[in-house]
Structure 1
Amino acid sequence: MKPMRTLVAACLAFSALGAIPGQAQEAQPRPINILSPSRLPTVPDPSDPAKPAANAENTGDASSTPAPDEPVVAVKPCEQGLPVLRSPLAFKPGELLEFDMDAMGAKAGKLTMRVQRPANGSLPVLVEAQTNTLFSKVRRVRGSATSYLHPKTLRPSRYTEEAVENEQRRKVNVDFSAQDKSVKVDYQFGDRPKGHYDYAYDKDGLDVAGAIYLIRQLPLKKDLPVCFDVYGIRRMWRMTATVVEREHVSLPLGEFDAWHLAGTAVRIDRPSQTRDIHVWISDDDRRLPLAAVGAIDLGAVRLTLSGVKRPGEKPMEAQGKEDLKW
């Protein structure tokens, strides 16, 4: 099992999604409880030839090397770049978001996202995750990822990971170059020799942590898709998504009007590896990432926003001790 898989998959669930302007829906939709099994998104029909089946190949090791006899298939390029971002930013240094992390139908741990103070011309954002005692019997994870974003464009110049999973340490450093659209990855697992990958991206290159914040700045409206490339789990993925609906969402944290986005992440060097993802972003000035449903090698994973701390605002915390089992 590869280190930090749960953290990266959770971030991937957020980073796969975005949209460009369309028309907002005026009618108020029926409230959705993200925690209710009857209201969760359904798995796509594997008989649909336009959609890869959700088999072991799709939900297995996302960082594995293709088999020697596996056909080389080109991934469709992005038709257009990302839209112009909204202004001003929906977040600022000091914002802290807390999430409950569920996997295999049970609580798995906690994840936090924190906006750091600007440093050396970048706006760092820090993501930290740790599994709980129960889930640690399946997979024990604690780790962090930091994305160094341009304070205006929110594109990354650097991304780092440090994690320990089942007592194995992992370090990753990723450098992005906007000039030649290159992505250089240096990594090391435990005491093994250091490794290196060279990638290139199409129109926009992001990382799994920083992409979440860029998504919050997109002009979210119904129907129109967006496409970008994103680094995660030592690989580059092409993300395509669509704003499905504007919905009312019920969480222990409160009631929200939100945009529901649905998309697919396709591994660029191995298109048989895909991840179907759903995410809900609040339709207000804060653009909070309320929840995400995605997949890792162990199965479905979900993040649910449980706490919000923003400078100058009253903290928000989830009320009650609801059981988050599906």
Structure 2
Amino acid sequence: LGFKAGEATLRFETVPGGVKISTRAESAPWISIFYRVDDRAESIILRGTDGEGNTVWYPKSYHLKIREGRHRRDKEVIFSERGRHALFIDHLKGERKEYDLPPGTFDPLSGFFLLRGVDLVPGKSVISRIFDSKKVWDVQVKVLRTEKIDTYMGERRTVVVKPELKSEGIFLRKGDVFIFLTDDDRKLPLLLKTRVLVGSVLAELRGGRF
């Protein structure tokens, strides 16, 4: 993935009724002199039940702030009606627009959190429905392989997946995104890898209870 452009983190924390997922990527000081990177994304999803008493998840909000060189993004999505309706806000352009969404739609960050509830078999693919860039995308997620990686919790066996993203996503990326989930029933996302203009981004899980 090239040289490391800086530091990135991935965090989960419980909030009333659900979970908050956040990422932040910052360029190294020597890179920031000529190309500063400060990308942040935050998603909140809520836990509920369906008509049969089964646990279901639905999105509450998503906020993306990107600064990469001269590029800026400051976008927000506020979901309602259990994810069936979305208010899109572009804070830099002063744009606000409402959208109706099909069932099971999530934002780019929480959509991959929900992979935890899917049977991930190497060589197979699953579909994650994402609202991003003012459109709904049925994103194919390829399950590539299992791999052992070193983490702050020690060595862990993971399942590596690659979303076939066609929308903006959570970085101004220049290549594929790879997500490393623990190869167990919890499927904790331990690592996210991608590329930006000046190098690689490795977002590592650094804390949280979920």
TM-score by length of 1: 0.49
Pairwise mapping of residues 237-252 of structure 1 onto structure 2 (< 5 A)?
237-245=137-145, 247-251=146-150
Could you tell me how far 1:135 is from its partner in structure 2? 2.8
Match of 1:148 among 44, 54, 63: 44
**Consecutive unaligned residues in structure 1, runs of 5 or more:** 1-102, 269-273, 312-326
- What corresponds to 2:29 in structure 1? 133
Equivalent residue letter for 2:111: A
Asked whether the equivalents of residues 161 and 170 of structure 1 are also in contact (C-alpha less than 8 Å), the reply is yes
Is the alpha carbon distance of 1:226 and 1:140 closer, same or farther for their aligned partners in structure 2, counting shifts above 3 Å? same
Equivalent residue letter for 1:156: P
Asked whether the equivalents of residues 10 and 203 of structure 2 are also in contact (C-alpha less than 8 Å), the reply is no
Match of 2:13 among 86, 103, 116: 116
Could you tell me how far 1:202 is from its partner in structure 2? 4.2
Once residues 66 and 167 of structure 2 are traced to their aligned partners in structure 1, the CA distance between those partners, rounded to angstroms, is: 22
Once residues 142 and 195 of structure 1 are traced to their aligned partners in structure 2, the CA distance between those partners, rounded to angstroms, is: 23
Could you tell me how far 1:229 is from its partner in structure 2? 2.5
Pairwise mapping of residues 306-321 of structure 1 onto structure 2 (< 5 A)?
308-309=206-207
The percentage of aligned residue pairs carrying the same residue is 21
Between Structure 1 and Structure 2, whose CA radius of gyration is higher?
1
TM-score by length of 2: 0.70
Once residues 183 and 263 of structure 1 are traced to their aligned partners in structure 2, the CA distance between those partners, rounded to angstroms, is: 23
Once residues 81 and 13 of structure 2 are traced to their aligned partners in structure 1, the CA distance between those partners, rounded to angstroms, is: 23
How many matched pairs? Answer: 196
Match of 1:171 among 66, 70, 74: 74
Alignment pair present for 1:181 and 2:80 = no
SS in 1 for 2:6: strand
Pairwise mapping of residues 55-134 of structure 1 onto structure 2 (< 5 A)?
105-119=2-16, 121-134=17-30
Cα deviation 1:83-127 (Å, max 9, x = unaligned): xxxxxxxxxxxxxxxxxxxx7x222222223333423x4432332
SS in 2 for 1:116: strand
Match of 1:261 among 137, 155, 161: 161
Asked whether the equivalents of residues 25 and 201 of structure 2 are also in contact (C-alpha less than 8 Å), the reply is no
SS in 1 for 2:15: coil
Q: Whose strand fraction is larger, Structure 1's or Structure 2's? A: 2
Could you tell me how far 1:150 is from its partner in structure 2? 1.2
Is the alpha carbon distance of 1:264 and 1:164 closer, same or farther for their aligned partners in structure 2, counting shifts above 3 Å? closer
Once residues 275 and 200 of structure 1 are traced to their aligned partners in structure 2, the CA distance between those partners, rounded to angstroms, is: 30
Alignment pair present for 1:206 and 2:106 = yes
Is the alpha carbon distance of 1:181 and 1:275 closer, same or farther for their aligned partners in structure 2, counting shifts above 3 Å? farther
Once residues 176 and 73 of structure 2 are traced to their aligned partners in structure 1, the CA distance between those partners, rounded to angstroms, is: 26
- What corresponds to 1:79 in structure 2? none
Is the alpha carbon distance of 1:235 and 1:293 closer, same or farther for their aligned partners in structure 2, counting shifts above 3 Å? farther
Equivalent residue letter for 1:288: L
Higher RCO by CA contacts (8 Å cutoff, separation 6 or greater): 1
Is the alpha carbon distance of 1:291 and 1:164 closer, same or farther for their aligned partners in structure 2, counting shifts above 3 Å? closer
Once residues 135 and 35 of structure 2 are traced to their aligned partners in structure 1, the CA distance between those partners, rounded to angstroms, is: 22
Asked whether the equivalents of residues 64 and 76 of structure 2 are also in contact (C-alpha less than 8 Å), the reply is yes
SS in 2 for 1:134: helix
Once residues 19 and 199 of structure 2 are traced to their aligned partners in structure 1, the CA distance between those partners, rounded to angstroms, is: 31
Asked whether the equivalents of residues 58 and 83 of structure 2 are also in contact (C-alpha less than 8 Å), the reply is no
Match of 1:282 among 151, 157, 182: 182
SS in 2 for 1:150: strand
Once residues 242 and 264 of structure 1 are traced to their aligned partners in structure 2, the CA distance between those partners, rounded to angstroms, is: 7
Could you tell me how far 1:283 is from its partner in structure 2? 0.8
